[in-house]
Structure 1
Amino acid sequence: MTTRTRRHARYPYSALPERPVFAWPNGRRLAVYVALNVETFSFGEGEGAGLAPKQAEPDVLNHAWREWGNRVGVWRMKDVFDALDLPLALLPNACVYENCPGLIEAFRARGDEIVAHGRTNAERQGTLSEAEERALIGEASDIFRRHEGGLPAGWLAPWISQSEVSIDLLKEAGYAYHLDWCHDDQPTWMATRDGGRILSVPYSHEINDIPAISARFTGPEAFADMIIAQFDEMLEASSKAPAVMSIALHPYITGQPYRLRALKRALSHIAAHRDRIWLTRPGEIAKAFAERG
């Protein structure tokens, strides 16, 4: 009797030691980027990360905690990125333009990449019908086009929630890459139903403050140590195989002063090695990888 597992057929298996060895720009082997998720939520309804167990709506405790990130935490984090001269990928929900005027614009002024992150994190696209999901992607895309003068190159789904056709819908909407799949340390071409392909750029679920701090209750110093250990190990290993390291952050979590203090230590460690790595953004990683063919 043969047991078979259901496969998605988006990409074939590829063992890391069997792949061609290449370098990122300037001969670097490790590309590093910081992703700052800026999210907005519906008051009195919908999804949302929790500081404490969810209460009956309106869940003021958790809603206000998340809103603090956009009013205070994100600006404290910006000061840190400015001081360390770190490039950034800003991943905002499209509704942030309306709900937090001036926020996205401040990061655009830094030259940061704007990566589309759905409409709002009060919803998950993976639970929708294909028509509803297409409408969500289309509405968010129109808002980004209107404010940014063009479609962002990349997409991260709210809650990293995808349906079986999300990859196809993103390609059809014009996106060049997405950050939803964390199955590799190198970018991966994924097949789409139109016979084309879309690039998956690594986005960490481990070096990510929501699962690390909100789900596993990792302390701020331990989270900083995780970032440093991840960086040191990946830098060493990249001599054999080029890689992408990402750090995923949310202002209402790591923007908290006592967590930010520890995060500064980790980011300073990485910045001190900038002459050995490619400090960049995911769109630049996608472009460099795509140019390889």
Structure 2
Amino acid sequence: MHLPSHNRYDYDPIKGRRVYDWPDATRLAVYIAINVEHFAFGEGLGAELAPGGPQPDILNFAWRDYGNRVGIWRLLDLCDELQLPACGLINSSIYDACPSIPAAFCARGDEIVAHGRSNAERQSVLDEAEERALIDATTATIAMHEGVAPRGWLGPWIAESRSTPDLLKERGYEYLLDWCMDDQPVWLRTRSGPILSIPYPQEINDIPAIAVRRASATEFADMIRDNFAEMYDQAASGPLVMGIALHPYIVGQPYRLRALRPALKEIAKFREKIWLTRPGDINAHVRQLEPEIAP
């Protein structure tokens, strides 16, 4: 029986794959992804702290806006304190709404990953021409401000149409973060050649964990610890990628930040034994490997 398939990649179990190392003979790559998102007032999509009422939904809009006014700065201070690299997954509308945020990532030497125009919309409902226009507008805005086009993409709401990887490849993107089906980078097929899928977490991610499943701050911090410890052991048999996905309006809340700090501090103690990195560097490393080493 043949069910409908995406035909982007083949089934290839992690057992039996070719083994390679990350830089300095490490096997576990860890990156911190900070989602910097902009939302429309009185319309459009948005995560909810509590069930929203009629628009304008002041409670949830202001809760999300806290992340860009306060939470992001506390998170970046924490990354500075622990000397951790990060990447900013940035809605391009942030450059107009909160320009000091991407400037802060740039000052740290962090990577900017394209995250659509805003999180008030999702691209999966658009036709191909509209989606191409969204990708083009996002890319142009980031390139104008950063002086270089982004190499990586994460769709708002992890939403893809059937054409998204094709459109991204055609627009010069090298990797995407939408697919969470593996712990290693995987090449995806597109109509213009391969694009790399880099693991991005939907479990070690504060929105599904906290906003959806209602995990406590301590439970989320313990999830990070346990995931790191298990993946560190598993990586003895082959390279793995662990992403930590954070949203400033969630973990930037003081009591959650208080729980997050010791978890990240424990990971930072392993900096000589793991690769603390960014997804763009993972992409560059995989691309210089021998052909077909990555699945």
1:128 is matched with which residue: 113, 126, 129? 126
Cα distance in 1, alignment partners of residues 104 and 15 from structure 2: 42
For 2:234, the equivalent position in structure 1 comes to 237
Cα distance in 2, alignment partners of residues 177 and 43 from structure 1: 31
Cα distance in 1, alignment partners of residues 205 and 124 from structure 2: 21
For 1:270, the equivalent position in structure 2 comes to 267
Letter paired with 2:132: R
1:146 is matched with which residue: 133, 144, 147? 144
- 2:238 paired with 1:207: no
Cα distance in 1, alignment partners of residues 211 and 133 from structure 2: 31
- 2:16 paired with 1:28: no
Asked if the contact 2:38–2:91 (Cα under 8 Å) also holds between the matched residues in 1, the reply is yes
For 1:177, the equivalent position in structure 2 comes to 175
**TM-score, with normalisation over the residues of structure 1?**
0.98
Look up the SS of the partner of 2:183 in the other structure: coil
Cα distance in 1, alignment partners of residues 110 and 117 from structure 2: 20
For 1:117, the equivalent position in structure 2 comes to 115
Provide the identity percentage. 56
**Per-residue Cα deviation, 1:173-217 (whole angstroms, up to 9, x for no partner):** 1100000000100000001112x1100000000000000000000
Look up the SS of the partner of 1:145 in the other structure: helix
After the TM superposition, which residues 250-289 of structure 1 pair with which residues of structure 2 at under 5 Å, given as runs?
250-289=247-286
For 2:85, the equivalent position in structure 1 comes to 87
Look up the SS of the partner of 2:11 in the other structure: coil
Query: What is the CA-CA distance between 1:101 and the residue it aligns to?
Result: 2.0
1:190 is matched with which residue: 183, 188, 191? 188
Look up the SS of the partner of 1:115 in the other structure: strand
Letter paired with 1:67: D
**TM-score, with normalisation over the residues of structure 2?**
0.97
1:59 is matched with which residue: 54, 57, 60? 57
Cα distance in 1, alignment partners of residues 17 and 213 from structure 2: 34
Structure 1 runs (4+) greater than 2 angstroms displaced: none
- 2:212 paired with 1:220: no
Letter paired with 2:40: S
Query: What is the CA-CA distance between 1:265 and the residue it aligns to?
Result: 1.0
Letter paired with 1:233: E
Cα distance in 2, alignment partners of residues 67 and 76 from structure 1: 14
Cα distance in 2, alignment partners of residues 132 and 112 from structure 1: 30
Cα distance in 1, alignment partners of residues 171 and 177 from structure 2: 15
1:290 is matched with which residue: 259, 278, 287? 287
Letter paired with 2:259: A
Query: What is the CA-CA distance between 1:8 and the residue it aligns to?
Result: 1.1
Letter paired with 1:215: V
Look up the SS of the partner of 2:31 in the other structure: strand
For 2:8, the equivalent position in structure 1 comes to 10
**Per-residue Cα deviation, 1:82-105 (whole angstroms, up to 9, x for no partner):** 000000011110000100121110
Cα distance in 2, alignment partners of residues 55 and 141 from structure 1: 34
Return 5+ residue gaps in structure 1 as ranges: none
Cα distance in 2, alignment partners of residues 12 and 290 from structure 1: 19
RMSD, aligned CA: 0.6
Return 5+ residue gaps in structure 2 as ranges: none
Number of aligned residue pairs: 290
**Per-residue Cα deviation, 1:41-80 (whole angstroms, up to 9, x for no partner):** 0001000000110211111110000001000011111110
Cα distance in 1, alignment partners of residues 46 and 270 from structure 2: 36
Asked if the contact 2:87–2:105 (Cα under 8 Å) also holds between the matched residues in 1, the reply is no
Query: What is the CA-CA distance between 1:282 and the residue it aligns to?
Result: 0.2
